Amino acid sequence: MLAAAGADIDALREIEAWARRAVVVPDGAQIVDAHVHLGIDRDGHALAAADLVADMDANGIAASVAFPADEPGMDGDFREANSRVADAAVAYPGRIIPFCRIDPTLPIGRVLADADTTGVRGVKLHPVAQRFHPEGDECVRVVREATDRGWPVLFHAGFGARPLGDAFARLIDQVPDARLILAHGGRGDHRALAAATAGHPGVLFDSSIAALPDLVTLAPERIVFGSDRPYGDHAQALHLVGVAARVAGWDDTAMRGVLGETLLKWIGPVGS
């Protein structure tokens, strides 16, 4: 497709190789992507499981946490899309780790019942797309349900207009043992978020489409690698953590944590 558009494919391949060289993967490190959407978003972005796994193979990524794109379906509750992600995890055992996407503004009983029987290992919430507040009662209820099941909750956290620091602080106050992954490094309100969540070991930031100045101010123990496929891509996602490591001076131990170890401590081992 790019060749047909007149792109210089050799130049693009060279750039891709350069981007991969930017990240120095320590010996034995396992790369696990915390943030991938499967399915067809209503804005047109799409990713099929087979294409994801092919890209993971090409980029040395062992496993990916996956959840539906913004594809709520006829009932609006993501049941069909969640089911397709669960099927993808069965088709690619150990490579795709299913999280379920939930709209807290709708009844959640059926979605959670599905999740309880399909091997789901976490929840994805998107306050902007589904129009709810992280600190609101509906969302707190979902986070509490997930926490009771031992699941982390990955929140879209960036690019919106609302301030996020106080919102997530209030959520944590209500569910203090929750484990939260705040996507995109909290881009857009990072300083407030980082301050509000400092001292909470149950809060991590994913690196997907994050801002470099935000990532390098965080302790690497608070960062997990993410790509946000198909809105982001693996090459630039790996390039970002490579540049962050260079600027912040992360050592091999820190890099192993960012690339996968920290996330695996939360979601358990992967591998077929």
- Are the C-beta atoms of 42 and 74 separated by less than 8 Å? no
Q: What are phi and psi of 205, to 5 degrees?
A: -120, 135
User: Which residue number, 179 or 187, has a Cβ lying nearer to other proteins?
Assistant: 187
* Contact residue for other proteins among 110, 131, 162, 246 (CB under 8 A): 246
Tokens of 215: 């990532």
- Are the C-beta atoms of 237 and 60 separated by less than 8 Å? no
Q: Measured from the CB of residue 249, what is the shortest distance to other proteins in angstroms?
A: 10
| 39-49 exposure pattern, b = at least 16 Cβ within 10 A, e = fewer | bbbeeeeebeb
Q: Measured from the CB of residue 22, what is the shortest distance to other proteins in angstroms?
A: 8
Q: Measured from the CB of residue 211, what is the shortest distance to other proteins in angstroms?
A: 8
Q: Measured from the CB of residue 238, what is the shortest distance to other proteins in angstroms?
A: 10
Asked if 194 interacts with other proteins (CB under 8 A), we say no
Window 206 to 245, contacts with other proteins (CB under 8 A): 209, 211-213, 216, 232-233, 235-236, 239-240, 243
Place of tokens 């203090």: 176
Q: Measured from the CB of residue 142, what is the shortest distance to other proteins in angstroms?
A: 28
User: Which residue number, 12 or 113, has a Cβ lying nearer to other proteins?
Assistant: 12
Asked if 152 interacts with other proteins (CB under 8 A), we say no
- Terminal CA-CA length for the chain: 33
Asked if 12 interacts with other proteins (CB under 8 A), we say yes
The residues facing 40 across adjacent strands are: 46
| 18-27 exposure pattern, b = at least 16 Cβ within 10 A, e = fewer | ebbebbebee
Tokens of 186: 């909290």
- Dist CA 195 CA 116 (whole Å): 34
Strand ranges (E), 104-202: 123-125, 153-155, 180-182
Window 106 to 125, contacts with other proteins (CB under 8 A): none
User: Which residue number, 134 or 232, has a Cβ lying nearer to other proteins?
Assistant: 232
Site string for other proteins, 16-55 (x = CB under 8 A): --xx------------------------x-----------
- Dist CA 198 CA 250 (whole Å): 19
Q: Compute how many residues bind other proteins; rule: CB under 8 A.
A: 26
User: Which residue number, 121 or 190, has a Cβ lying nearer to other proteins?
Assistant: 190
Place of tokens 């996956």: 66
Q: Which of 206, 212, 209 is nearest to 258 (CA)?
A: 206
User: Which residue number, 55 or 261, has a Cβ lying nearer to other proteins?
Assistant: 55
Asked if 188 interacts with other proteins (CB under 8 A), we say no
**Where do contacts with other proteins occur on this chain (CB under 8 A)?**
1-2, 5-8, 11-12, 15, 18-19, 44, 209, 211-213, 216, 232-233, 235-236, 239-240, 243, 246-247
